[in-house]
Amino acid sequence: MWSQRRVVDYGLAKRAAVRSLRSGRASRGDVCDAQPYLLRAARHFGEPTERPCPVCERENVTHVTYVYGECLGRHAGQAKVTSELIAMAHDYDEFRVYVVEVCQGCSWNHLTVSYVLGNGPPDLVGQA
């Protein structure tokens, strides 16, 4: 996306959670704990992927995208589809996007990535 910046990938944390489950240090209930609201958001606003759930391996995970930021007003905290983010990036100065992967079968959920969008000034990296 044209204004995407300050990207944080949570892949290492996801691998650690799955490794903990497989080694017996965590139970399935510890990692498959999606709240009903998140499962509903996955059903109505989620975007399907081709990646199988790392826990049950029966269903593909769904991505649910949430937006947060002071400038968003009533839209803050809402689930959005990717196509809506493009328009929002043009309309708002700066807001944070969180993408959660959800398995609607076993309730696995994990934050996969977060980033900032918006038409505000670009980050000034390395300038004092």
For the chain, 128 residues long, give each residue's pLDDT as a single digit of tens.
Answer: 567 889 999 999 999 999 999 999 999 999 999 999 999 999 999 999 999 999 999 999 999 999 999 999 998 999 999 999 999 999 998 999 999 999 999 999 999 999 999 987 766 554 44
- What pLDDT sits at residue 124? 55
- What pLDDT sits at residue 3? 73
The two tokens of residue 31 are 């990692």
Backbone angles phi, psi at 95, to 5 degrees: -150, 155
% of the chain surpassing 70 pLDDT: 92
C-alpha 75/C-alpha 69 separation (Å) is 9
| 50 SS3 class | strand
Backbone angles phi, psi at 41, to 5 degrees: -60, -40
- What pLDDT sits at residue 100? 98
